[in-house]
Amino acid sequence: MEVFAQQIVNGLSIGSIYAVFAIGCTLIFGVLNIINLAQGAFLMIGACVGLEAARFGLPLPVTLLVAAFGGGLLGVLSEQFMFRPLRKAGGHRWMGLVASLALARLLVGVAQEIFGTEVQAYPRSSMSAIIWQIGGVRIQALQLFIIAAAVVLMLLFAFILQRTSLGRAIRTVAFSEDVARIVGVRVESATLVTFFIAGALAGAAGLLLGVLFNVVSPFMGDSALVKGLTVMILGGLGNIPGAVAGGFLLGLLEVFSVAYVSSAFRDAIGFGLIFLILLVKPTGLFSGFEERRA
């Protein structure tokens, strides 16, 4: 029972990070119908700049903002200098996919040059020292910070998308660029903002991930990307509430498979289950969610 409760806490902390990362990927997919494979690299860069900020002595919440801003900036640059020129040139959607993969490799290379290939750790923060013991369950203050930060980010995201003029504009572009133009939306700006938001979510997720495992490396984006894509598919492509649920689900699944089976099967079990789910429900576990709210 204690092991179970402990795994719930661990699963929620990692799952909340997956959810934050995946809603960014899902947003890009929903608006532009592309999968940006560089999102994983944005996550890694977020963790790296966050680490530099932490070494500089900035408090954790501020490093989170720095990481988010770094990721967002990269998102904007990737749209401005890569995706948009490709679209303008009439490139097929696959071209964007391949180009984003190339960008990811490039960023990993740059990170290796700047930050080195060694795995690095965050400076000891006071938060990792605070541990509550409730029954037999250990809860780190850091875990609570991560879950809280992830939830705040998701609520902020939901608020922007659902309740603001900017959010309506982004959703309109997702529906149809022509309709967006008809109502006076500057589609190019709305797209840039979309890339900023998605990149910022990736950067923030990178920092949270680095802090949770206390590991930052130029290669951390790769496995994160696979997880982000898994969550996207699990939640139903383009379905944001589905991505949130899928993120938490994957986090819990992973943690439980480590606790009860073996850490060697952590990824295999997660993906095996996803394969099963897709066989049974190819549109994703949470598809139909949005329609049902009507």
Partner 1 sequence: MLELQDVTSGYGTVPAISNINISVPQGACVCLIGANGAGKTTTLLTISGLVRAFSGHIKIDGVDHTTMSADRIVRGGVSLVPEGRRVIASMSVEDNLLIGAYVRKNGPEIANDMRAVYNRFPRLFERRRHYAGSLSGGEQQMLAIGRALMARPKLLLLDEPSMGLAPHVVREIFETIQEINRQGTTILLVEQNARKALSIANYGYVLEKGRIAAEGPTEQLRNTDTVRDAYLGMGQAIESTSQAALG
Cβ distance to partner 1 smaller for residue 125 or 287 = 287
Nearer Cβ to partner 1, position 93 or 186? 186
Cβ-based nearer residue to partner 1, 84 or 171: 171
Distance CA 282, CA 196 (A): 30
Measured from the CB atom, the residue of 82 and 185 that comes closer to partner 1 is: 185
User: Residues 134-173 vs partner 1: string with x where CB under 8 A?
Assistant: -------------------------------x--xx-xx-
Minimum CB distance to partner 1 smaller for 174 or for 200:
174
289 lies in the binding site for partner 1 (CB under 8 A): no
- Stretch 253-282: interaction string toward partner 1, x if CB under 8 A: ------------------------------
Q: Is 186 in the site for partner 1 (CB under 8 A)?
A: yes
181 lies in the site for partner 1, by CB under 8 A: yes
Min separation Cβ 183 and partner 1, Å? 5
> Does the protein bind partner 1 through residue 52 (CB under 8 A)?
no
User: Which of 4, 175, 260, 275: binder of partner 1 (CB under 8 A)?
Assistant: 175
The contact set with partner 1 (CB under 8 A) reads 165, 168-169, 171-172, 175-176, 178-179, 181-186, 290-291, 294
